[in-house]
Structure 1
């Protein structure tokens, strides 16, 4: 049995690192937006149910799978799965667990670099005196490489490269480096979040103005926390809630498997999984809901928030709102908010490098330093197009295929493998052995039946997403014998660029048509890069298989 080449220094460090892996930018940027767009309190009940019957089971599966594979010296998903199930082709499902991390890190670090830049601009007073429209324009110009917001040429590229270098350097120090960042970053993140949340709770109507006389921070809180039981019958809300679980827990990526693979065979995985999961939920549901929405509602009104809710609110609106607090407090708030986002981002992005490093060390003998810097180099090559061609949608294309579709597909496949091929006869002991808590036996059946069905529904729902995301209306149409109309956001129509082609067909301006055609070119280029990465990793997995067979280590 192989000896682990790296190990966690303490259980606290492991839990904080695993929680840091889960706690990311989505907790503060995506969760509030998803909640607002799906009816506020109407979103909360389906979301919490999805956490219990899909999120927790996936954490159990990935923690126990990682620990199981780790005792055979495997620290990445291709050969973690290979150690669990027999079948030459099944190891290639594990390619997703390396591919997704490199591809997501490539553009995720770009968002992370925004937070670094905004901390800098908050300190030097760039946002002083800006209107909300000015702050929004600042963001638009920042992500346009051709513009310079403060006279720094290629500012967005510089911050992106610096951010990648910081990530890569920490990764080169191994698990100890990640653990140290988690032990500092997670407490600071919670502290910064708590300070801003208190402001959101106490703002009340003090931010109301002549333009928004009815602004009230409590309206935002009431909107988010007033349950609406009718949402239990709205499939659209359930789909959005289930989708958020993937983003918030970082499941379906392979990072959890990798972290857990460094545990000893008798180390607990059940309590660790629950602890990391609930810490993430506290940060997301409590802190995440107390900052952006109430503060924005307190100054701009709830109606404005509902109408303008989007990922960019954190960068296009919050700096303006902080300026309303005046002088030094505005600077402190900016540093706290964007510093919080930076720590949330880096504790997640660091996790993304570990599967590649573990795979190259296990299969080809690479050391930590070589693995880390090769990861950084690949992320740079893959990520620069998301920076340079951001305006053409390359960033969004990466996020869709690598950060959305890939996660759901891998989670669905690994759950089926764990529950039905590896089998719950071995799977349940893999979860419960060494557990410091008693897991309700109902989870044995949830993992085997309910979680796989939910994941299949989510994946098929992405493939056949209905027009305008109107699930109820399209189900009624289908029952009455009418056709199911696909939305341009469905996987089927996204593959064919149906939405862009419709815009080209209706456009009368030649310049607009050329711009749309250029966008299709860059989106195809993004797909080529992603497919190339997946093929490259698949080849490495095959070469590793040949190497293992020569050495007598291959299982099939």
Structure 2
């Protein structure tokens, strides 16, 4: 079974590695990970984190790179087509719709957060920040800028700044993706990822040289800040007691799951453009290592220690948005030349966001091109319209960020879990773990050990299923209750159903087209 001939390819292996790394390195590396590590006893959190990395993250990365390359050799670059190659069953392309709705749906709200980051960098550049009025001022600024007081408020004239920066991000993403793999995504990643690392290292050096800023508070120093992040025990718990926290293991697995872009439908598409002897094992391992370094060595050593040193232990917690858009501006306010480091920080977040967002568009474009036969220009135009509608939905239902929250739950979490689990089952049991390892070894400098087959068949799927069931048990009830009581949540959910129907309809047309091409239709 073959699809259309490949029209695009990566310019270099370094380019595709950096592109995958750019997809994985995002806001979660610099905000979500530090928050979880601080919440779950610092150093104790790293044990389940690295266990999940070894048993879940790395094996699934190898699996996705290998399956993608195998599908690409048959001429397919989207999950509906690749799944059809791997599992020749009439249902397989429709299961693959998850590989379209996940990246497209996440893009719809991710570009909104991207606009926040760019706007904050702009505020530092023109000297509006710092505000010098305490945490309340930053909370009010963030709530007002993001339209949390009422639905539809962001489309008023008083919020024109948000609309301008959202449109800038939106157009920039579309220009990059229109330029294709080598001339767009790869080029931006080749520039953006090194700049991101340089910016992060500059901020890290500044944090590590803070010393003891306030002599009246000698306990708020660099060593204690790092200790707050990394020490494996607290005054109330021993190391072993901390490890007995089941919720921490669940959170660590979830962080690995999201930070490596597992189940996004991106890696499997990116790797489908590789040549048959390109090294998928080394490439996957390198991209995982780069992402982990950005998360642990940079994100983990910047955010929480800086908050601890300058604002005290109470400021080191908080959710992703609280930490990134309220606490850290307060931190920069306390730093000498803090405006410069505030600009660097939000520029770093913007680069991390855009290298991730551009990756989310390629899977759908690949499907439009191979499934319904559109040109890249027509594919980008269609995708621009679809994602624009979704972004308007997210921006309109801004009260309490309900639109963003609903999209993140149903698409950015539930669908990701489902897609990753399906991929692991297909790779380990349908494609076959032994065949997968043999395929991965083609052109590989590194040789996968045989025990990886056991991990892929049993450990990874069980890990995913258990995490998914426990996570649903903890969260599903509250979201269903929200759907029952909130019109905005229901409207957002209905849009998600409409988007799903849109892709399933297109997949039905693509299947008929593929059958005609293969001479299968009588």
- What range is the shorter-chain TM-score in? over 0.9
Tell me the equivalent position of 1:323. 333
Counterparts of residues 521-532 of structure 1 (less than 5 Å): 521-532=487-498
Query: Deviations for 1:196-246, whole angstroms, at most 9, x for unmatched residues?
Result: 11122222321x386x67433432311222233444332211110010012
Gap change, CA 1:523 and 1:217, over 3 Å in 2: farther
Tell me the equivalent position of 2:500. 534
Counterparts of residues 61-100 of structure 1 (less than 5 Å): 61-100=63-102
Distance 2:461 2:55 in 1: 10
Distance 2:110 2:519 in 1: 36
1:225 and 2:191 matched: no
Question: Does structure 1 conserve the Cα–Cα contact (< 8 Å) formed by 2:437 and 2:448?
Answer: no
Distance 2:128 2:334 in 1: 14
Counterpart selection for 1:357 from 359, 365, 374: 365
1:26 and 2:28 matched: yes
Distance 2:272 2:428 in 1: 19
1:298 and 2:309 matched: yes
Question: Does structure 2 conserve the Cα–Cα contact (< 8 Å) formed by 1:545 and 1:554?
Answer: no
Query: Deviations for 1:511-543, whole angstroms, at most 9, x for unmatched residues?
Result: xxxxxx5xx100010100111111110111111
Shift in Å, 1:355: 0.4
SS in 2 for 1:179: helix
Tell me the equivalent position of 1:311. 321
Query: Deviations for 1:133-152, whole angstroms, at most 9, x for unmatched residues?
Result: 2122111110017779xx96
74-83 vs 413-422, which moves further: 413-422
Task: Report the count of equivalent residues.
Answer: 506
Tell me the equivalent position of 1:454. 463
Question: Does structure 2 conserve the Cα–Cα contact (< 8 Å) formed by 1:214 and 1:301?
Answer: no
Gap change, CA 1:553 and 1:269, over 3 Å in 2: farther
Tell me the equivalent position of 1:494. 479
Tell me the equivalent position of 2:277. 266
Tell me the equivalent position of 1:289. 300
1:161 and 2:167 matched: yes
Distance 1:447 1:31 in 2: 25
330-339 vs 366-375, which moves further: 366-375
TM-score normalised per structure 2:
0.93
Distance 1:379 1:213 in 2: 51
Shift in Å, 1:455: 0.7
**What runs of 5+ residues in structure 1 fail to find an aligned partner?**
466-488, 502-516
Shift in Å, 1:373: 2.9
Query: Deviations for 1:50-94, whole angstroms, at most 9, x for unmatched residues?
Result: 001100011011101110110111110011011001211122121
- Higher normalized contact order (CA 8 Å, seq sep 6+, divided by chain length): 2
Counterpart selection for 1:175 from 169, 173, 181: 181
Question: Does structure 1 conserve the Cα–Cα contact (< 8 Å) formed by 2:106 and 2:411?
Answer: yes
Distance 1:554 1:246 in 2: 38
Tell me the equivalent position of 1:143. 146
TM-score normalised per structure 1:
0.87
Distance 1:312 1:205 in 2: 25
Shift in Å, 1:305: 1.7
Question: Does structure 2 conserve the Cα–Cα contact (< 8 Å) formed by 1:169 and 1:372?
Answer: no
Distance 1:444 1:229 in 2: 31
Shift in Å, 1:553: 5.4
Counterparts of residues 153-552 of structure 1 (less than 5 Å): 153-176=159-182, 177-206=184-213, 208=214, 214-227=219-232, 228-306=239-317, 308-326=318-336, 329-392=337-400, 393-465=402-474, 489=475, 491-497=476-482, 517=485, 520-552=486-518
Shift in Å, 1:309: 4.9
SS in 1 for 2:185: helix
Tell me the equivalent position of 2:235. none
